[in-house]
Structure 1
Amino acid sequence: MVKRFFLVLLLSTKTVFAADVELNARQALTKMTNAMRVLNYQGTVAFLRNGKLETMKYFHAAEKGIEQERLLSLNSPLREIIRDADKVSCLFKSTQQAVVDHRPVGHSFLVDVPQDLDELSAVYDFKMAGEEDVAMLPAYVIAIQPKDDFRYVRKIWIEKQQFLPLKVAVYDLSGTVLEQVVFTDLEVKEALPFVEAKFGDATENVKHIHQLQAQASDQAAFVVNNLPSGFEEIFFTRRPIHNSNQPVDHLLLSDGFAAVSVYMENKNTAMQQGLQSVGAVNSFSRTIDDWQLTVMGEVPAKTVKFIAEGIKLRH
């Protein structure tokens, strides 16, 4: 009887601990999203993408609900990138060329985590995966594990005191690292200045893109029939592209972490067909009558192919 009592107690303790681990992981992610929004902080961050490593100075200023992110490259090509909400300005120092991207949805340079993690419980598991030091700071390791093979595994290292992200990694289904964002030093400040994007002599060389407002997706020339569980339509736009007057339909899909873009434009014989892969990004292109369809995103190849093959023309 005594042995049975202790066995039941042990199993009950394990069940409670497992629930606490999942709850703590979600709490840590929620605290992180809040800290990223309200704190002033700066540091040096390394971006590993497409097999290339780039180190940049990072600044985040926040005051009364207003945020600004800024990146300064430390190596060629020298450039400054500023994000104010959904507007991203990039100035190339050597050529004085500037690009202003008006995005319908603002995205952090570091990592985006949905506000409501409960909605993602059907497609992701959130778990504490241990503790490690990053940039000489102790951090919780949060594993974001998909429940299917339509999306990548992610891990986020969250600093224990301020709950800022110190490292973000994206893995393919075999466990190979595809992308990383890692701070080599990070400092929280009482305040940081907001910087205005000053183009100087580059005013005439400023290129504005994505200036159109989001439109209703039922205006798209196509219909998406195949969507992996959890993916939803975020916004749709129709705009000219490739320096021409030919319109391109663009539909953005997301499951909260992974984003997929669907493009449809007039068919061009020079356009590539089939699957293309660059780092974590996969794309799949095919023709539908006189249209060229491309599905692209930071998801496995299976996902873009699955979505593309289910797209039909709207009648």
Structure 2
Amino acid sequence: MDVARWVARLRGNGCSRSYVGTFVVISANGAMSSSRIAQACDGEKQVERVEALSGVPRTVYRRNGEVRTFLTQPRTVRTDRSDASGLFPQPPLVPGAKLSDFYEVQRLGVDRVAGRGADVFLFRPKDDLRLGYRIWADQQTGLLVKLQTLSATSTVVEQAAFSEIDWNASVSVDDLSRGMDATEGYQVISAQVLKTTAQAEGWGLRQAVDGFVPVQCYRRSLNPRAQGSSSVLQCLYSDGLASVSLFLEPLDPARHGNIKVQEVSMGATQLLARRASDDTWLTIVGEVPRKTLHLFSNYWERLR
């Protein structure tokens, strides 16, 4: 069974119908978070709203490539941009990714999620640099309605699923856009974003990590309100399913101290941080095995 064909099906049907639903994420350690998601499409325009129901109160809107995050305490709106294609929770489009070289897919049958029939697929990695996935796709719309991230021993390390979906909800592009544009009473902070490449910034991988291709790279201001403030370089790599983000920022002795290497595991997400040079701190984050982060860390170097 062709992997790319099934991923294209998931991606292509991500916004075939408007809906409102509750999405719940549960990690193997018992940590749980939930969000209320609304999506609508109108031709080429796609708008989504993700309202956090747990943790810090926040609402995130995305309209095509524009992102706005509303925080109630303090009352601020942070604006940003993202070129990652596909609406949550669909897999992004990654030109150059060769999924069939690194995953094999198996259709497991039919199940029910949020009261509707769903096709179930197993995406099994062919190496130890990525995790496996068990995916449920709504039979009528193709929407990804449930996802289990699997360890090398097929243990579920994280599960994300819609607990309910209203396909008849009265939600439109205009409705969501009005909410996204309702910034009165909020302090608007616009991120200063410069699209770039790792090579242009003097960094890069001396050797590619199998299957992972560069997707996008941005330099963002750490404090958009302060002129001449420091900035963070973020570079994203993906194999079409899994993704890894690398962040480069100025070394801060007060925060980073004498730490040589820091590693944190948060469900399916792994984090590795270390000094990249005498004045630069590198943080690598991804839903991949720890070995993959170590390869990115070992291969990442200053080019000039």
Distance in 2 (CA, whole Å) between partners of 1:281 and 1:250 is 17
Superposed CA RMSD in Å reads 2.7
Structure 1 counterpart of 2:184, which letter?
G
SS at match of 2:119: strand
Rg larger for: 1
1:43 alignment partner in structure 2: 21
- Does 2:20 align with 1:32? no
Gapped runs of 5+ residues in structure 2?
Answer: none
Query: C-alpha deviations, 1:70-96, integer Å up to 9, x for none?
Result: 123445644322111122222234542
- 1:126, 1:144 within 8 Å by CA — same for their partners in 2? yes
- 2:97, 2:238 within 8 Å by CA — same for their partners in 1? no
1:262 alignment partner in structure 2: 246
1:300 alignment partner in structure 2: 289
Ranked by relative contact order (alpha carbons within 8 Å, sequence separation 6 or more), the top structure is 2
Q: Which of 126, 133, 140 does residue 154 from structure 1 map onto?
A: 133
Identical aligned pairs, as a percentage? Answer: 22
- Does 2:199 align with 1:215? no
Alignment length, in residue pairs? Answer: 290
Distance 1:208 1:173, change over 3 A: farther
- 2:135, 2:146 within 8 Å by CA — same for their partners in 1? yes
Q: Which of 182, 193, 197 does residue 161 from structure 2 map onto?
A: 182
CA drift of 1:155 comes to 1.6
Q: Which of 91, 112, 120 does residue 112 from structure 1 map onto?
A: 91
CA drift of 1:67 comes to 0.8
SS at match of 1:182: strand
Query: Mean alpha-carbon deviation: is it higher for 67-76 or for 249-258?
Result: 67-76
Superposed counterparts of 1:42-191, under 5 Å: 42-48=20-26, 51-75=30-54, 77-93=56-72, 95-106=74-85, 108-114=87-93, 119-189=98-168
1:310 alignment partner in structure 2: 299
Structure 1 counterpart of 2:119, which letter?
Y
Superposed counterparts of 1:227-266, under 5 Å: 227-241=208-222, 245-266=229-250
Gapped runs of 5+ residues in structure 1?
Answer: 1-21
Distance in 2 (CA, whole Å) between partners of 1:149 and 1:285 is 21
More helix per residue: 1
CA drift of 1:284 comes to 2.1
Structure 1 counterpart of 2:238, which letter?
S
CA drift of 1:286 comes to 2.6
Query: C-alpha deviations, 1:226-263, integer Å up to 9, x for none?
Result: 33211111122233326772333322111111111222
- TM-score (normalizing by structure 2): 0.84
Distance in 1 (CA, whole Å) between partners of 2:212 and 2:249 is 23
